[in-house]
Chains A and B, each alone.
Chain A
Amino acid sequence: MAGSRDVKRRIKTVENTRQITRTMELVATSKLKRATDRVYATRPYSEALHEIVAGLYSPALSEKYPILRRPEQEKRAAVLLCTANRGLAGGFNANLIKQARLLLDSLRKRGIEAELHVVGKKGIAYFRFRGEPVLTARTDVGDHPTVEDAESIVGPIRDRFETGAVDSVYLVSSKFKSAMSTPPHTRDLLPIKGEAGTASADVFILSPSGDMILERILPVYIRNAVYTALVENAAAEHGARRSAMKSATDNAGDVLEHLTRTYNRARQAQITQEIAEIVGGSAALE
């Protein structure tokens, strides 16, 4: 009966695991709902801001404002990677890390020095392990990223761009297409590219000048890009975790079914054997 006891113990273990993964799935589902609402809530602001910036932008201003500078040569690039603090979300963190690694490799292949800024324990742990220097390592951004979080992350990097310490800034994060589809995505944050806008002083009353408005709004624009990335990343993390935990729960069910069948077969075999022994024993007595 030793074999069937082992099987019974394994059934217990798998049941416990399934209980845990099912709970995690439920938790992720409820957090996902709120995180998705936050993603949609950021969109009106982003769209309106984009419209205004695009309207005022003029490539000729790059001489005047350091944030608009367009380096002729890309010598040094900053990569800002957003990952999660927690694992058990399927390939979520691994995909982001892979995307960042490929970006670093391709920059270095082109002879560009690349520096790394990471948000989230998972990304930090990976790059520390690889011996890659991580200039900014932030683990304090939770499920509910704030504008202040975004500003404190991107502010120093933006300053580095303005002073010329880096010539470009890339942002690697998850795009929140839907709860099921959260592909990693690289975005060129700086330098700002674009066509000359149409909101000139002929059409609009500009108060103060268009340049001044742009100078004030551009840092906000960059910060907002990082803010939306953090919000989308938080939602994407829950989405990925929900899918991962759902398939873990389903798999545990399959394993359980298989084990139960094995157990029953072993039990049946045991009973059959015992009957055979009794019948054999009584036959020997006659």
Chain B
Amino acid sequence: MSGGSLDVRVVSPARIVFQGGASAVVAPAWDGQVGILPGHAPMLALIGAGELSIDRSGGGSDTFQVAGGVLKVEGNTVTLLTEYAGSEPPASIPAEAIVFPEDVED
């Protein structure tokens, strides 16, 4: 499916970590990696701790270590709000990033 490209924005409380076009995003959701391609259905997901990788539209890719937050996909716009973003994993994982499966009710 070719739905054009994704408009990706990764923001932490203090700054915009990444902003730009992308062909694919792989984000660490609370229950495992989630891959997003253009044309993805609208989605809201909690973010756990792990590696976020973004394949830029022009080629090449960026990876960040993120921990905690929320991911929103709507149209071809991907917004990832995270508590922590950096090249190294955080020293301690924020409580928001941990979701126990037994707490989740279906």
Contacts and interface: CB of A to CB of B under 8 A. Distances in A.
Main secondary structure of the interface of A (DSSP, over half): helix
A207 B46 contact: yes
A135 interface: no
B93 interface: no
Interface in B1-48: 9, 11-16, 29-31, 34, 41-46
Given A48-B81, A49-B81, A213-B46, A208 B104 contact: yes
B103 interface: yes
Contacts of A38: 14
Interface string B69-103: 11010100001010100000000000010010001
A76 B92 CA distance: 35
Contact of A45 (B11, B34, B72): B11
A189 B13 CA distance: 18
A197 to B, nearest CB: 11
Given A208-B46, A209-B104, A212-B99, A42 B81 contact: no
Contacts of A51: 72
Interface in B37-63: 41-46
Contact of A147 (B14, B45, B103, B105): B14
22 contacts: A41-B16, A42-B13, A44-B16, A45-B12, A45-B14, A45-B81, A48-B81, A56-B44, A146-B14, A147-B14, A205-B43, A205-B45, A207-B45, A208-B30, A208-B31, A208-B99, A212-B99, A213-B70, A216-B46, A216-B70, A219-B96, A220-B68
Interface SS of chain B = strand
A121 B86 CA distance: 33
B89 to A, nearest CB: 17
B14 A207 contact: no
Contacts of B99: 208, 212, 216
Contacts of B12: 45
Given A41-B14, A205-B44, 6 more contacts: A52-B81, A204-B44, A205-B43, A207-B43, A213-B44, A219-B96
Contacts of A52: 44, 70, 72, 81
B43 A44 contact: no
A38 B11 CA distance: 13
Nearest to B19: A44
A204 B43 contact: yes
B76 to A, nearest CB: 15
